[in-house]
Chains A and B, each alone.
Chain A
Amino acid sequence: MSAEPTRRRVLAAAVAAVTASGAAGCAPGRAWPWATPPTPAPDVGTLKDLIVAEDALVATYARVVSTFPALSASTAPLLRQHQEHLAALRARLVIPAGAAPPASAMPRAHPAAEPFPGSAHTAVAYLRAAEHTQAAALTGRLATVTPSLAQLLASIAASEASHAALLTRNPR
């Protein structure tokens, strides 16, 4: 007998509060905790940049091979390893649901700024430069990532440095 009026009073007070503040989203009070998207870890932005760059390197190899088929046999193992690098980087990329896309710190995705080569000989030098550029991009990101990702990036950079050396030794 005494509980009923009390409950009614509480409900009435709540309705009054909502009415007073209005039904729109401009109501005073705290935002729902999940209204703000989670902030992606710094690794996410780094990985996205490096995936774009590695993808561009794979595309560069594919274009060189389609233009100069004579280079196909010697560059095939290198291209295969770049595809492994790309898969390993993509496997590390975990973006929280609803997260805002991270800002990119890498202004340019394509590894080589110089014009596309006109001969097989200059194409090898072009690939060598692209390998050096990508290795430098990877090592440039080491200080800001987790230790585990730093190891992966350092290993891929070492692989790419050895690609550049092999392209120097075996021009054809």
Chain B
Amino acid sequence: MTGNPVAGALQVVLAAENAAIFGYGVAGAYLSGAQRAAATAFWNDHRVAGDTLAAMLRARGAEPGAADDAYRLPFPVHTAHDAISLAIFLEDGVTAAYLGLVAGGGTGLRGFGAQGMQDSAVRSSYWRGSSQAFPGFPAAPPGTTHVRPVQ
């Protein structure tokens, strides 16, 4: 990796997109019908995003990081239910990677990073059937915990 912080931030997002491409290959095998069609469409979204990121890195004189052959699954995947959980895991990971780009990619890449977050949050909400208040953040964004309503 180069010493360029913007290229470094882009490499992190590319690594996340590459992992999602692998993960959807696993998840899609356990899905059928509309869900399988969605997994295929989303797998393609991630491939396009990966190509875009690789081109952005080359334009900055950096060599895009290569995808790994296989990634350790976060839990065993044997059923459609597991596959949907995996898809949610993938989209949340990609959203968090783009969130990093919003802060670390310079002001010129913030809009790009925000769009990436919106795309993955929309895909995540498809699998969840619900939305998140602060996609990309582990729980609440820093500094807001004290204002969240007490249950």
Contact = CB atoms under 8 A, between A and B. Distances in A.
Contact of B114 (A77, A92, A139): A139
Interface hub of A91, A135, A161 (most chain B Cβ within 10 A): A161
Chain A residues touching B, majority SS: helix
A55 to B, nearest CB: 15
A155 B131 contact: no
B113 interface: yes
B143 A150 contact: no
Contacts of A139: 111, 114-115
B126 interface: yes
Contact of B111 (A78, A143, A158): A143
Interface residues of A, number: 35
Contacts of A165: 122, 125-126
A161 B114 CA distance: 11
A154 B131 contact: no
Contacts, number: 111
B16 to A, nearest CB: 15
A142 B125 contact: no
A92 B143 contact: yes
Interface stretch (A19-27, A29-37, A79-87, A107-115): A79-87
Contacts of B114: 138-139, 142, 153-154, 157-158
Contacts of B13: none
A6 interface: no
22 contacts: A84-B134, A90-B147, A91-B143, A139-B114, A142-B111, A147-B102, A148-B103, A151-B99, A152-B134, A154-B136, A155-B117, A155-B137, A156-B134, A158-B95, A159-B121, A159-B131, A159-B132, A162-B122, A162-B124, A163-B131, A166-B125, A166-B130
Instruction: List 6 A-B pairs, minimum CB-CB distance, nearest first.
Output: A158-B121, A162-B125, A161-B118, A154-B114, A147-B103, A142-B110
